[in-house]
């Protein structure tokens, strides 16, 4: 490491709420401001520098600049700028990568980076037809140009699972395991230190006990004859997460443990198979670091769909439902916790921070976070514990 090596030295998140429930009346600013404030408070208590920038991933917000509005709402002062970026489900992770690049370049001594999504309060959108007709509602923007395959995420997950030979039984088992891990993590207090209560809500809403016999009776959710159901897919959710990224010399002066950024990668893949993105992204990041997956203690993957996660982990040589279950999303993932799109990638970094830094892992221990992205992309980040 050198003095400019980026290091994550603080990481917090809100509880994750199911759309229309706990945070039904909380807009995206109301979610992101508390976690910005919590991370800034930690840095101030450690004698760290003032923030140079705020980077927030967001997909379906109200427009404008969520990062700047959230920073002002958190009381950071007029002099702290902000930028909002959209890499769909990889947005929160891409924000951390962006912050790391700023720090590595010597352009900042503290960047707050994370993501936020309020699906409950996202505006309804209208499209103007090319023929000049009246505006019509649309569910999402295009992820690929007209004439190119641009499947809905659920249908794409069904197709990927079928192509990879991932059975419905394996998907259901993986989903049950995700919920079981999350419930155990909550009961054992492993999530407490990372969560910033919002409006009296202190726990994630979605984790529950799933019964195999009930899951087996559920119909396919997206494709006739498909294997993706509402039980082995993530729920639409609200939430926010935030990290503090500083150069190594600042971390060392403050005496803070953290996660040093070893390597990152953002890659493209076929838009018809967006869930495949983590495979080339992880391969690229490991090659850049000169490491192998056997060297990595914890692998956090955005669990949009169990079938997609299993197709990816199988391709990477991870047995996520067997011998590697203890290191793939070890405290549960988005299937159990929820998937606030723009925030989930940053939630992965918070989870790595809790599991490795708060959990007492030895210096040098590696962690990996990766996300698939609509439109055919993958994001991956490899980090190492420093103390």
User: Residue 132: how many CA atoms within 13 Å on its side-chain side?
Assistant: 0
Active-site annotation holds for 249: no
The parent domain of residue 181 ranges over 153-189+258-386
67 and 115 both lie in a single domain: yes
Q: Which of 285, 273, 347, 354 is nearest to 316 (CA)?
A: 285
Is 159 part of a structural domain of the chain? yes
Specify the pLDDT at position 138: 82
**Segments in the chain below pLDDT 50:** none
Is residue 79 in some structural domain? yes
Identify the domain boundary among 201, 222, 254. Answer: 254
**Residues 29 and 102 occupy one common structural domain:** yes
Residues 242 and 331 in one domain: no
Catalytic residue among 89, 234, 269, 329: 89
Instruction: Determine the pLDDT at residue 118.
Output: 98
Distances (CA, A) of 315 to 134, 160, 249, 295, 308: 46, 12, 38, 17, 11
Domain annotation covers residue 14: yes
| Residues 88 and 172 both lie in one domain | no
In this structure, the answer to whether residues 62 and 87 fall within a common structural domain is yes
217 assigned to some structural domain: no
Q: State which of 221, 254, 287 marks the end of a domain.
A: 254
- Total structural domains in the chain? 2
Both 242 and 184 in one domain: the answer is: no
CA distance 290 to 41: 36
Same domain, 40 and 179: no
Last residue of a domain, one of 229, 254, 279: 254
Quote the pLDDT of residue 167: 97
DSSP single-letter state for residue 235: P
pLDDT digits (tens, 9 = 90+) for 168-213: 999 999 999 999 999 999 999 999 999 999 999 999 999 999 999 9
Is 331 contained in some domain? yes
- 164 and 290 together in one domain: yes
Helix (H) or strand (E) holding 342: helix 341-352
Catalytic site residue 329? no
Verify that 55 and 81 share a domain, yes or no.
Answer: yes
Q: Indicate if 283 and 320 belong to the same structural domain.
A: yes
Report the CATH number that the domain containing residue 270 is assigned in CATH: 3.40.47.10
Residue 34 lies in a domain: yes
Please indicate, yes or no, whether residues 250 and 368 belong to a single structural domain of this protein.
Answer: no
269 and 364 fall within a common domain: yes
Cα–Cα distances in Å, from 112 out to 81, 185, 199, 276, 308? 11, 26, 22, 29, 30
The answer to the question of residue 142 being in a domain is: no
d(CA 35, CA 113): 11
- In tens, the pLDDT along 58-67 reads 999 888 899 9
DSSP string for 107-133:
S-S-EEEEEEEETTTPPP-EE--TT--
Choosing from 98, 173, 206, 339, the catalytic residue is: 339
Q: Is 210 a domain residue?
A: no
């Amino acid at each position: 490491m050198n003095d400019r090596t980026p290091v994550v030295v603080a990481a917090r998140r809100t509880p994750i709420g199911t759309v229309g429930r706990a945070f039904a009346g909380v807009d995206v600013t109301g979610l992101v401001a508390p976690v910005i404030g919590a991370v800034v408070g930690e840095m101030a208590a450690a004698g760290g520098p003032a923030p140079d920038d705020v980077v927030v991933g967001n997909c379906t917000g109200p427009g404008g600049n969520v990062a700047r509005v959230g920073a002002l709402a958190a009381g950071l002062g007029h002099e702290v700028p902000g930028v909002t970026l959209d890499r769909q489900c990889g947005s929160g992770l891409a924000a951390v990568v962006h912050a790391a690049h700023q720090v590595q370049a010597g352009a900042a001594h503290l960047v707050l980076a994370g993501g936020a999504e309020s699906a409950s309060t996202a505006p309804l959108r209208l499209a103007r037809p090319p023929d000049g007709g009246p505006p019509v509602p649309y569910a999402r923007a295009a992820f690929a140009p007209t004439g190119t395959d641009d499947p809905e995420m659920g249908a794409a997950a069904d197709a990927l699972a079928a192509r990879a030979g991932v059975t419905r039984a394996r998907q259901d088992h993986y989903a049950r395991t995700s919920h079981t891990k999350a419930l155990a993590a909550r009961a054992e207090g492993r999530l407490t230190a990372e969560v910033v209560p919002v409006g009296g809500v202190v726990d994630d809403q979605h984790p529950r006990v799933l019964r195999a016999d009930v899951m087996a009776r559920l119909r396919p959710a997206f494709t006739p004859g498909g294997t993706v159901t509402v039980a082995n897919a993530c729920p639409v959710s609200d939430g926010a997460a935030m990290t503090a990224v500083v150069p190594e010399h600042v971390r060392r002066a403050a005496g803070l443990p953290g996660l040093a950024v070893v390597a990152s990668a953002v890659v493209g893949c076929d838009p018809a198979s967006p869930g495949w993105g983590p495979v080339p992204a992880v391969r690229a990041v490991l090659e850049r670091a000169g490491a192998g997956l056997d060297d990595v203690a914890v692998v956090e993957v955005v669990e949009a769909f169990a079938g997609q996660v299993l197709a990816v982990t199988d391709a990477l040589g991870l047995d996520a439902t067997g011998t590697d279950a203890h290191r793939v999303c070890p405290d549960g993932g988005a299937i159990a916790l929820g998937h606030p799109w723009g925030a989930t990638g940053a939630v992965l970094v918070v989870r790595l921070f809790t599991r490795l830094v708060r959990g007492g892992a030895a210096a040098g221990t590696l962690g990996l976070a990766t996300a698939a992205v609509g439109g055919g992309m993958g994001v991956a980040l490899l980090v190492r514990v420093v103390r």
